[in-house]
Structure 1
């Protein structure tokens, strides 16, 4: 059996006393790198698990996931056993967060109508495509801003593939594939 540090029983006991066994907030004085180290160790031991935070119930966040959501920490049955508490017969119902590259599908392109991003997508979806000069003139952006929007917002966030090709008489033309 793994020996508990001074911090671990404090976190597990506090979580065991809360509804749904939420381990947040952590005990006073436990923050920063020390908190991350302690929580990482307890997750590795199976005593805590990261779950989606229910923001409507104002559950405290452990970390933000970057997509407008966050996670909180929940004490597992194994964590309850580590501090000598028998787990309940019916475990609390919580959605487990599993963030991996293979489960995250690209978002469908659904920008708000009337935005510069929507206008950019419309220009790039046109069969004739758009040159950088046309994009800069239409959006009022600098060239580096337009390139960043195509790479970041369209490519990475919306999952669109922006291609470019040099055409005689027009120069480099950008299109959504």
Structure 2
């Protein structure tokens, strides 16, 4: 096992726990020249590496998520390498540096499950119909559609105006 300082161990351990394996942000007490020195040592030993992205975001002076920018202005991130994982005793896996978020599944028997059931019905559902069935207010329903269903669960919600019924929402796969 590679001999590492306590600071290096903390940096590598935290990076190993992140889904994207990003080394940044560094511990709050590590700034300026000390941060540069520790990062430089880890890079020389091949325990962390730079990843060039297509992002044009500027590097944060507090070393929040972006390490530096290349000459074209693209953001460069730092990530732990397989050698870095091995140095802290973690078996390297085949991982993607930028994994897709895991799809979540709703619990059964909840109001959210009932909402999904109503939206999956052939005719869909209006805000008024959902409000009556779930005893929710319209702003709660709209929040659930946009937040829980679209963002968290990744469902595709469609909306169309139906004569005599109003705006009808539905989940279409």
TM-score bracket, normalised by the shorter chain, equals 0.5 to 0.7
Q: Describe the shift of the 1:168–1:41 C-alpha distance in structure 2 as closer, same or farther (beyond 3 A).
A: farther
> What is the match of residue 100 of structure 2?
104
Contact 2:155 2:171 in 1 (8 A): yes
Aligned to 2:136: 141
Give the alignment of 1:1-177 within 5 angstroms: 12-14=4-6, 22=13, 31-32=27-28, 34-35=29-30, 42=38, 46=43, 92-95=89-92, 98-100=96-98, 103-104=99-100, 107=103, 110-177=105-172
Paired with 1:158 and 1:41, the residues of 2 have a C-alpha distance of: 42
RMSD of the TM alignment (CA)?
Answer: 4.3
TM-score, L = length of structure 1: 0.52
- The TM-score, its normalising length taken from structure 2, stands at 0.53
Q: Match for residue 84 of structure 1? A: none
> 1:75/1:104 Cα in 2 relative to 1: closer, same or farther (>3 Å)?
closer
Deviation (angstroms), 1:122: 0.1
Take 1:152 and 1:104, find their aligned partners in 2: how far apart are those partners? 18
